[in-house]
Structure formats: structure tokens, C-alpha cells
Amino acid sequence: MNKTIDVCFSPALFNLYDSQDSIVVVIDILRATASMCVAFQNGVKSIVPVATVEESLAYRKKGFLVGAERKGEMVEGFDLGNSPFSYMDPIVRNRDIALTTTNGTQAIQTARNAYQIAIGSFLNLDALCQWLITQDRNIILLCSGWKNAFNFEDTLFAGAVVQKLLPFYALTYHRDSALAAMHLYDLAKEDLYGFLEKSSHRKRLEKLQIEDDIVFCLTPNQTDVIPVMVGDAIYNLNVLQSL
């Protein structure tokens, strides 16, 4: 029997999926899961995803760098926001980071009972897919969405993963979500940036002038890091395996 691959369009639908024996890939393309990939590529030791701004700030006393994003912007008084470029600063090397974002860190909480949680973004697309294939586990691709609403960018990434993995996996009950994501990715893949031009998130972020962030977050295969959750924190799997 083949292992299965599923796409979940919103954390609010996640309870329909059987995640206990599955690897759940949490996806927040603009920009939390892209930023996490950049962070680990730049030597971050761990990232603790937390639900609230207050929780994140409290980690400063424990020696953590603290990150917080709300409404697309870094919250005042924090070290880091949600821009992948901020995680390229050499100050992050070997540091532990506490991070709260509007959608991505909430989605991670939603998936906490999964067999394993991994972090996906266009930046680590191929590395992630190659690793997933070797795991011999059912896979659920969890789109963080925007406050539980369906969004394009997370769906397109899920579609890219389904397209790569479908030869090796079976579809389930939720096959329509997986096939829809794949169809939409097929439509968009030649020009992801252009396709997203009318999307809700691009509209929402327009005023923040983060076009460079968006282009960066949509550029595939910039890193081979695979962030995975162990206990309450996310680590770089490549580093864990070399210990």
C-alpha cells in the first residue's frame, strides 16, 4: 500500500485530517517558513514558535533573540520580524530565537500532535521533497493561510510538492484539495510573482513595500536546510544528523 499525500487549505480544516502518524509540512510562504529556512541556513541554532507577542518577548530573559510580526510588520522592540533578509544578519549565528507570526507559528501549534512537523518554503523545495520521499510516511501539506482563510501562495507551494511527489504517493478522501493545488501550481509556475499579483496577500502587503521579500520567497531551491520540530523548538535537521 502506497503512503498518502494530502493538502489542507487552512488550519481551521486540519481536524478533518488524520495527522498522528503523518509528517505535517507547515507552509507559510509569505514569509514565516521562508524566513525560518534562511535563519537555519545562516546558522541559527533553534527557533521556538510561540503564539503571542508577550510570550516571544519573555524569551529575551533566557538569552534568546526575539521575533514578532503582526499585520506584516515587525513589532516594535523586537530583534527580528518576518523578513527573510533580517535572518541573514550575522548576529543570528548560533542563537536561539523565539518567534511569533500572524499565521505560520499558529499553524505549527495546530499541527502539534503530528508524528513530525517539518517546515516548507520555495527556498527548500527540492531538498524537502527528497527528504520526504525517504521517510516512508503519510504526508499532510498544511497551508497556514491568512487568519484561517485560503490563500494562493501557500496553496501553490503545496501544489508544487504534490506534483513532485504524486508518482510515489496515493491520494485520499482529500484528493480534491491536492489536485486543485496541483492544477493551480501548473497555471502559475511559469510566473509565480505575476500570478500572485491579484492575490489577497500581495494586496495586503503592497503598502509595506516588501516586493524584494516576495520575489525572494518565491525563488525555489536556495537552500538544502530542512527545519524540523523536536519538542518545543525547530532545528536544522542537517545539523541534528551531524551531531
Residue 203 binding its own copies, by CB under 8 A: yes
Considering only 173, 215, 221, 232, the residue that binds its own copies (CB under 8 A) is 173
Give 176: exposed, middle or buried? Use CB within 10 Å, 0-12, 13-18, 19+: exposed
Q: Does 189 help bind its own copies (rule: CB under 8 A)?
A: no
Per CB under 8 A, which region of 12-20, 90-98, 133-141, 206-214 contacts its own copies?
12-20
The stretch near its own copies (CB under 8 A) out of 101-109, 112-120, 127-135, 142-150 is: 142-150
The vertex-21 CA angle with 19 and 23, nearest 5°, equals 70
What residues does 5 pair with on adjacent strands? 139
Residue 216 in contact with its own copies, rule: CB under 8 A: no
Q: Using CB under 8 A, which of 122, 152, 169, 216 touches its own copies?
A: 152
Least Å distance between CB 35 and its own copies? 21
198 binds its own copies, rule: CB under 8 A: yes
CB of 72 to its own copies, least distance (A): 14
Asked if 239 interacts with its own copies (CB under 8 A), we say: no
The two beta strands, 5-8 and 96-100, are: unpaired
Q: Are 94 and 45 in contact (CB under 8 A)?
A: yes
Task: Select the span of 66-74, 128-136, 143-151, 213-221 touching its own copies (CB under 8 A).
Answer: 143-151
Helices 175-188 and 152-165, axial angle in degrees (round to 10) = 100
Nearer to its own copies among residue 88 and residue 187 (C-beta): 187
> Longest C-alpha distance within the chain, in Å?
52
State which residue, 179 or 228, has the beta carbon closest to its own copies: 179
- 199 forms part of the interface with its own copies (CB under 8 A): yes
Residues lying near its own copies in the complex (CB under 8 A): 9-10, 12-13, 16, 146-152, 155, 173-177, 179-180, 183-184, 187, 198-201, 203
